[in-house]
Amino acid sequence: MTRRLVVVGGVAAGMSAASRARRLDPDLEVLVFEAGPHVAYGACGLPYFLAGMVSQPEDLLAYPLDSFRRERNIHVYPRHRVLSLDLEHKLVRVRAGSTDFSIPFGRLVLSTGAEPLRPDLPGADLAGVFTLRTLADGVAIRDYVRAQEPRRAVIVGAGYVGLEMAEAFSRLGMTVTLLEKAGQVLPGWDAHLAGELAKAARAAGVDVRTGAPLQAMEGTTRVRSVTFGGGSAPADLVLLALGVRPAAGLAAAAGLRLGAAGAIEVDLHQQTSHPDVFAAGDCAQTRHLVTGSPAYIPLGTTANKQGRVAGANAAGGNEEFPGVVGTRVVAIFGLEAARTGLTEAEAAAAGMDPVTAEVEQTATAGFYPGPGPVRVHLAVDRRSRRVVGAQMLGAGGVSGRINTIAAALQGHWTIDELSSLDLGYAPPVAPVWDPILIAARAAERVLEGENRADQ
Amino acid sequence: MTRRLVVVGGVAAGMSAASRARRLDPDLEVLVFEAGPHVAYGACGLPYFLAGMVSQPEDLLAYPLDSFRRERNIHVYPRHRVLSLDLEHKLVRVRAGSTDFSIPFGRLVLSTGAEPLRPDLPGADLAGVFTLRTLADGVAIRDYVRAQEPRRAVIVGAGYVGLEMAEAFSRLGMTVTLLEKAGQVLPGWDAHLAGELAKAARAAGVDVRTGAPLQAMEGTTRVRSVTFGGGSAPADLVLLALGVRPAAGLAAAAGLRLGAAGAIEVDLHQQTSHPDVFAAGDCAQTRHLVTGSPAYIPLGTTANKQGRVAGANAAGGNEEFPGVVGTRVVAIFGLEAARTGLTEAEAAAAGMDPVTAEVEQTATAGFYPGPGPVRVHLAVDRRSRRVVGAQMLGAGGVSGRINTIAAALQGHWTIDELSSLDLGYAPPVAPVWDPILIAARAAERVLEGENRADQ
């Protein structure tokens, strides 16, 4: 049997897997097939590339392609699309240009990522209508912007990418309309925090339209306008930022089991339903450490960690990726918004009995000139007193604090444990009662008040 | 028996205790005796007050004195010094101006704070020689600065207060000499990080002298110069910032047991060796959650938390303060320095087998213009793989990260748990592999390499 490891997909999870396998087993043959032209890049940097803050697409590469071949002895093949998997005979079928070939594998890591959702609506194929997922997508948008000099951009979907791109296009001087079919930006977040973010976007000149589902894109060859529930807008460029679904087609066709949200089912070893096949990154499910259930939360941070574990185990190791708490940060329009764990609605849907304490406290000592208040929403389960999630918003001092709550979630802490946490204090960086502690104490008082009312 | 609660000392711990007791028992009579003229202030703000960033001393008060009387029904008596405790008859002896009186108590909370160390050296009583502990000390220094317009300041002791005051006096335009008898600023910290901080202080014009013990202060009525091992310096103002010791004299005279570093011995309920007497804040010991042993780490954050627990239990409650991990942050000369848990030397002294991984990683995505690198020293116990402490230094992005490691310490995490932590990522606030994760992985590699070498 061949000892060859084949990795399908070479962005984040795939290159992490290949690198880790190589490190643990210097004799293993490691091949990576990537359908696109680039490998090992950080897709989360694309809005900054498009805003002109990163000059070369190559600056988003974690490592140049050559370094894998020369320094790590990893055979990386861009523009090689894997067409199918034959798990019985342990072969992958690959297309490179006009040539197809099959190659045997001993172990396989699937890191095929996610695909952007595209609506089945008139005009979706017009020139000037884009999605933004890969570095090639980013280069295509940049080239279009350079060649066509669009003045009016419509972004459809006000999630992280939609919001970041609204800021990026604004920086380029475009007039930006941001459409969101839900009643708020960042659907799923607490409405009040999302509303503050929308306010900041509007203050920066973005025409934010919520409750505004996309209906059609119009134009002859190039897009010229967009129609949505509630109106229409001229558009020289349309970005569809409607979210993603796992690119699990190859896995499904090969008979591998799918799990949460149609992502590839894996266990804590990142092993799929076939013992020689591992999956990692945006194509794979993960485990939510607050609910204990499978979840699909595609993020680059998770992809890298899962990739390392998949690569280690594909090389004969025995490592586990315990799961995620779903920590996310977005920094736009002068604000940092972050969440970790479950919202109150998600906790209720998971069978918990949640309540949310909402506080506002300065990020620094009150007398010290700083970024002003941090708003904290802390969701707690009444029965167990466990912290189940948090959301934060402020001009600064947010990301470090959400990470601290992420650690509390990972440790299954109660609010009482959180309220005794020994946090650093110095007037330029925090008040003596940190916003985290204020929120934990507020949650204690909420439960205290409720218990008293029960008596 | 009287149900009166008497609190001795009304700065941080004392006012927290009084407020919490009042909240839990609306019928309890609550009296606070404070020797100084101010109550409920944040002493950590004093360097900023002296730097002119806080205009009124009143701005450092958490609440005005009247609010305790009017809104909380707490009887607060400033300028009332408690002279002695009679635990047998449950009386406190109090001096107010020229009048002494005794008052019975049911329960007692001791929150007498800490006293600045003063060297027994020639000239220590000269005018212009100060310590900085209380708000009254701060006002005295400010008044001296206004009246005498000192041009040359000598600060003795390069701990947190010494460094913060070096920056404050520099801001006021004074020429500052900073003397430290140890071989580095921030004694106890890893020497390399301390050296970076000293370099920043020197770049800001401070004459930092390490290995320079104070020998004498000279002058006729007012201080004019300072002699130290290695030289002398002219001085219009001297600040002795040599650290503190617990103000446990009252407790000791009354027969209460003392513990770590001569601080009042308390259990997790903040109860002293007398069942009706509680202690909290800088006069009391605490428990170090990494070693499990009693420790003396006087900080405002801990004082407030201990005060709440002492107040709750003095009012008949049953709460615990689990302990601290010793998280400290100082932000000076454009740098944030922070530590939590044990240094490698402290861990070795506690019987552990520690090793330190040292890494440097940008605070934000590499391509994003941010505060630059964060240096992380992560100390790990080889036997248990547990994280035992961390130190960090950087121009930004430090305090949130030290808090996250503080949570990991409080949860007794291994480096493997830390390296799987789900931290937020967005290019403006963090790289995809956060400095914390880079440090955890570096520690894993250190142990891996050592194990390999053992074979």
Over the stretch A162-188, which tens digit does the pLDDT of each residue have? 999 999 999 999 999 999 999 999 999
CB contact under 8 A, A289 and B368: no
Q: Which of residues 387-406 of B touch A (CB under 8 A)?
A: 397-404, 406
Closest residue in A to B436 (Cα–Cα): A403
Q: How far apart are CA A7 and CA A41, in angstroms?
A: 16
Q: What is the pLDDT of residue A454?
A: 56
Given CB atoms, is B421 within the 8 Å cutoff of chain A? yes
Q: How far apart are CA A94 and CA A81, in angstroms?
A: 6
Residue for token digits 């934010």?
A208
Q: Which residues of B touch A406 (CB under 8 A)?
A: 404, 421-424
B60, B423, B429 ranked by CB distance to A406: nearest: B423
Q: How far apart are CA B325 and CA B301, in angstroms?
A: 12
**To the nearest whole angstrom, how far is the Cα of A97 from the nearest Cα of chain B?**
33
Q: Which residues of B touch A54 (CB under 8 A)?
A: 367
Given CB atoms, is A428 within the 8 Å cutoff of chain B? yes
Catalytic residue among B24, B44, B365, B421: B44
Q: Which of B422, B423, B432, B451 would best serve as a mutation to test chain A binding (most A beta carbons within 10 A)?
A: B422
**To the nearest whole angstrom, how far is the Cα of A452 from the nearest Cα of chain B?**
12
Q: Which residues of A touch B399 (CB under 8 A)?
A: 400, 424, 426, 429-430
CB contact under 8 A, A429 and B289: no
B340, B422, B427 ranked by CB distance to A324: nearest: B422
Closest to B329 (Cα-Cα) out of B303, B355, B299: B299
Q: How far apart are CA A124 and CA B314, in angstroms?
A: 70
Q: What is the mean pLDDT of chain A?
A: 95
Closest to B53 (Cα-Cα) out of B138, B133, B132, B131: B138
Q: What is the pLDDT of residue B56?
A: 86
**To the nearest whole angstrom, how far is the Cα of A411 from the nearest Cα of chain B?**
7
A365, A407, A428 ranked by CB distance to B404: nearest: A407
Q: How far apart are CA A431 and CA A162, in angstroms?
A: 34
Q: What is the pLDDT of residue A198?
A: 98
Interface size A-B, in CB pairs within 8 Å, comes to 191
Q: How far apart are CA A319 and CA A344, in angstroms?
A: 33
CB contact under 8 A, A340 and B421: no
Q: How would you classify the pairing of strands A129-131 and A237-240?
A: parallel
User: pLDDT tens-digit profile of B121-130?
Assistant: 999 999 999 9
Q: Cα separations (Å) of A189 from A184, A185, A195, A210, A324?
A: 9, 8, 10, 14, 18
Q: How would you classify the pairing of strands A114-116 and A107-110?
A: unpaired
Name residue B105's amino acid.
F
Residues near A349 by Cβ (< 8 Å), separated by ≥ 6?
none
User: pLDDT tens-digit profile of B157-197?
Assistant: 999 999 999 999 999 999 999 999 999 999 999 999 999 99
**DSSP, res B260:** G
CB contact under 8 A, B367 and A331: no
* Mean local confidence (pLDDT), A121-133: 97
Q: Cα separations (Å) of A104 from A17, A23, A85?
A: 18, 22, 10
Q: What is the pLDDT of residue A453?
A: 62
Tell me the pLDDT band of A55, cut-offs 50, 70 and 90. Answer: confident
Closest residue in B to A322 (Cα–Cα): B420
Given CB atoms, is B128 within the 8 Å cutoff of chain A? no
* Mean local confidence (pLDDT), A435-442: 98
Task: State yes or no: is B283 an active-site residue.
Answer: no
CB contact under 8 A, B432 and A400: no
B257: left (phi over 0), alpha (psi -120 to 50) or beta: beta
Q: How far apart are CA A262 and CA A249, in angstroms?
A: 9
Closest residue in A to B330 (Cα–Cα): A426
Given CB atoms, is B63 within the 8 Å cutoff of chain A? no
Indicate the Cα dihedral angle A177, A178, A181, A183, nearest 10°: -110
Nearest 5°: the CA angle B262, B265, B267 is 155
Name residue B202's amino acid.
R
Alpha-carbon radius of gyration of chain B: 23
Given CB atoms, is B324 within the 8 Å cutoff of chain A? yes
Cβ-contact A180, A210 below 8 angstroms = yes
Taking 60 as the threshold, does the pLDDT of residue A71 lie above it? yes
Closest residue in A to B398 (Cα–Cα): A400
B59, B428, B432 ranked by CB distance to A304: nearest: B432
Given CB atoms, is A336 within the 8 Å cutoff of chain B? yes
Closest residue in A to B24 (Cα–Cα): A448
Closest residue in A to B331 (Cα–Cα): A428
Q: Which residues of A touch B402 (CB under 8 A)?
A: 424
Given CB atoms, is B61 within the 8 Å cutoff of chain A? no
Q: How far apart are CA B128 and CA B130, in angstroms?
A: 6
A53, A368, A410 ranked by CB distance to B422: nearest: A410
Domains of chain A: 5-115+245-314 (3.50.50.60), 118-242 (3.50.50.60), 328-454 (3.50.50.60)
Given CB atoms, is A301 within the 8 Å cutoff of chain B? yes
Closest residue in A to B327 (Cα–Cα): A424
Catalytic residue among A4, A24, A44, A348: A44
3-state helix, strand, coil in chain A (%, to 5): 30, 30, 40
CB contact under 8 A, A433 and B304: yes
Closest to B175 (Cα-Cα) out of B188, B186, B162, B166: B166
Q: Which of residues 28-57 of A touch B (CB under 8 A)?
A: 42, 44-45, 48, 53-54
Beta bridge partners of B354: B381
Q: What is the 3-state secondary structure (H, E, C) of B41-76?
A: ECHHHHHHHHCCCCCCHHHHECCCHHHHHHHHCCEE
Q: Which of A403, A418, A438 would best serve as a mutation to test chain B binding (most B beta carbons within 10 A)?
A: A403
Q: Which residues of A touch B281 (CB under 8 A)?
A: none
The larger pLDDT score, comparing residue A399 to residue A54, is at A399
Q: Which residues of B touch A420 (CB under 8 A)?
A: 305, 321-322
What residue ranges of chain B have pLDDT lower than 50?
455
Q: Does ipTM exceed 0.85?
A: yes
Given CB atoms, is A24 within the 8 Å cutoff of chain B? no
Taking the whole predicted model, whether its pTM rises above 0.90 is answered as yes
Q: Which of A59, A63, A422 would best serve as a mutation to test chain B binding (most B beta carbons within 10 A)?
A: A422
Through-space distance between the first and last CA atoms of chain B, rounded to whole angstroms = 70
Q: What is the pLDDT of residue B451?
A: 73
Cβ-contact B150, B236 below 8 angstroms = yes
Q: Which residues of A touch B329 (CB under 8 A)?
A: 424-426, 429-430
Taking 90 as the threshold, does the pLDDT of residue A450 lie above it? no
Q: How would you classify the pairing of strands A129-131 and B214-219?
A: unpaired
Closest residue in B to A367 (Cα–Cα): B54
**To the nearest whole angstrom, how far is the Cα of B212 from the nearest Cα of chain A?**
27
CB contact under 8 A, A411 and B406: no
- How many percent of chain A have pLDDT more than 90? 91
